[in-house]
Amino acid sequence: MKEKILERFLRYIAIETTSDPESNSQPSTSNQLDLSRLLVRELQDMGVKDVTLDEHGYVMATIKSNLPAGTKVPVIGFIAHVDSAPDAPGKVTNPQILKNYDGKDIVINKEKGMIMKVEEFPELPDYKGQTLITTDGTTLLGADDKAGIAEIMTAADYIMSNPTFLHGEIKIGFTPDEEIGRGVDKFDVKRFGAQYAYTLDGGQIGELEYENFNAASAKIYVQGRNIHPGYAKDKMVNAIILATEFNSLLPVEQRPEFTQHYEGFNHIIRFDGTVEEATIQYIIRDLDFEKFEQKKSLIEESITYMNKKYGEGRFRLELKDQYFNMRKQVEPHYHIVEKAVKAMEMAGITPLIKPIRGGTDGARLSFMGLPCPNIFAGGHNFHGRYEYIPLESMVKATEVILNVIKLYSQEK
């Protein structure tokens, strides 16, 4: 199983699938379909009969139950996303494979002086003796979420190759554009046909999440006035300066680099500007809905303040909710969390139940009527050039998928 997962993972990360938040199409980039088409072919080659890829980029597949006729168990699904984050280049051509890792600092890129140091990434020694897959410092790795895809595909391959493995009906789904918050915009829950599902989109081995951030995006347009600097007195309005002042109104302690656990944040993710005009983009996150609303209100109040100070129309705000905390949708079906806990224990894993300091397709799917907690995919340092994943964690994630299926097949 280990070699099959590695082979799949390396094949998938070599395909460029970066999503584009500025695109209005779905999928937002056509190259995501390159991976989706490959997954369709691979599923069909396994012998899975009911496999589709629709015009929006959704792959859906069904593995029929092989339980005795008349046996009724819940239909469950497993979901991962094909796109990679637009935070760094996403076509991985030279991943590093470190077999029998020694537990010490890892040179990511000698020429660039990029070293993954144990003092900065203290979890590294936990993987001593394992096989680590890292970037070469020029791209992200794409374990978010191509590890999840490789794990689901490997589990599907095992099921199709082992007819004595008993299981109920299983649904498989691969989505586009999760990284830009549009992963399930057009996902047809009814057509998917699962009663419960799990996303394979979490971090380190053992992670299990059924809570996530409430999320919103804020895009702020600042209108300045450019005048020749030699004649600018009392006339120039520098949009860069105004945008910087706006950012200073938001609490420093609510930046992500100063928060953890259940603490939310306001995160500036982009700043583009000239004297004439500037644009600032934020993501707003909090697990507590009341605090989430307070963060959004602070943005709105700060816009009002700046317009009052510098003139109406200097600042314009686009504020959009993205997704909400799935906890209240999952808790009434808490047995799906308990199944995942048991499945991990069967694989010799200690479950780490914790809130997601981010979001998954499962958060929105839970509000669309498909309760969908999140299981680890095994990676670390997602969205950046220091991303890595232990191969053994991917193997364990695949075991957990099979154990979940086994547990559901035994329901009476």
| Nearest Cα residue to 98 out of 382, 395, 388 | 388
Radius of gyration of the chain (CA): 23
Measured in whole angstroms, the distance separating CA 81 from the mean position of its chain's CA atoms is 8
Which is the catalytic residue, given 16, 83, 211, 387? 83
3-state SS of the chain is CHHHHHHHHHHHHCCCCECCCCCCCCCCCCCHHHHHHHHHHHHHHHCCCEEEECCCCCEEEEECCCCCCCCCCCCEEEEEECCECCCCCCCCCCCEEECCCCCCCEEEECCCCEEECCCCCCCHHHHCCCCEEECCCCCCCCHHHHHHHHHHHHHHHHHHHCCCCCCCCEEEEEECCHHHCCCCCCCCHHHHCCCEEEEEEECCCCEEECCECEEEEEEEEEECECCCHHHCCCCCECHHHHHHHHHHCCCHHHCHHHCCCCCCEEEEEEEEECCCEEEEEEEEEECCHHHHHHHHHHHHHHHHHHHHHHCCCCEEEEEEEEECCCHHHHHHHCHHHHHHHHHHHHCCCCCEECCECCCCHHHHHHHCCCCCCEEECCCECCCCCCCEEEHHHHHHHHHHHHHHHHHHHCCC
Provide CB contacts within 8 A for 259, sequence distance 6+: 253, 265
> Is 178 a catalytic site residue?
yes
CA distances from 307 to 140, 234, 382, 389, 410 (A): 40, 17, 38, 47, 62
> Is 387 a catalytic site residue?
no
Which is the catalytic residue, given 177, 178, 207, 286? 178
Residues catalogued as catalytic: 83, 178
